[in-house]
Amino acid sequence: MSFWAEIATQSLGALAGTLVGGAITVLVARWQTNRSIAAQATLATAEHAASLRLDQVSQDRARSTDAARTLLERLADLYAWLPSLPDVSAETPYLSCHARDQCRHAMESLRRGMITDLYAISDHMTRERYRELVRLAYDVGWREVGSGNRE
């Protein structure tokens, strides 16, 4: 073999090794990049799902809070027109005609709230507490105002 042929053979071997090594490096870099992109996509999907769940829970909580506040306002309206505590101890407490009408309207509002607002409260224990409050309010208000229409 001639000198030039030997140099060409060695050069081609080195060049082929360099090209194969470069190709392997490019493939490994592409694999790592794809893996990083997949991990980031999975993380972004999980973060988005968690954000949606948090938004849903926040909206649920806000809706429950608003419904509870509305029910409390309805109870406060009824309480404002109920007779005083000594009068409640009587079997038929005395109410003026105006107070009786206002109390009747407040009881109707409370009944509508039991149908609409109560079911917006997601916590079962809180819902039961409001039901008990409404039962007590109805018991007191029924004695004079709603004695003809108790349910």
Are 95 and 144 a contacting pair, CB within 8 Å? yes
- The pLDDT score that the predictor gives to residue 25 is 93
pLDDT mean across residues, the chain? 80
- Report the alpha-carbon distance of residue 138 to residue 144 in Å, rounded: 11
- The pLDDT score that the predictor gives to residue 57 is 92
pLDDT in tens, 98-133: 777 777 787 777 777 777 777 788 888 888 888 887
Are 79 and 138 a contacting pair, CB within 8 Å? no
Q: Please, which pLDDT band fits residue 68 given cuts at 50, 70 and 90?
A: confident
Which has the higher per-residue pLDDT, 150 or 16? 16
Are 145 and 110 a contacting pair, CB within 8 Å? no
Q: Write the DSSP assignment of 4-17 as a string of letters.
A: HHHHHHHHHHHHHH
How much is the pTM? 0.54
Q: Write the DSSP assignment of 27-82 as a string of letters.
A: HHHHHHHHHHHHHHHHHHHHHHHHHHHHHHHHHHHHHHHHHHHHHHHHHHHHHHHS
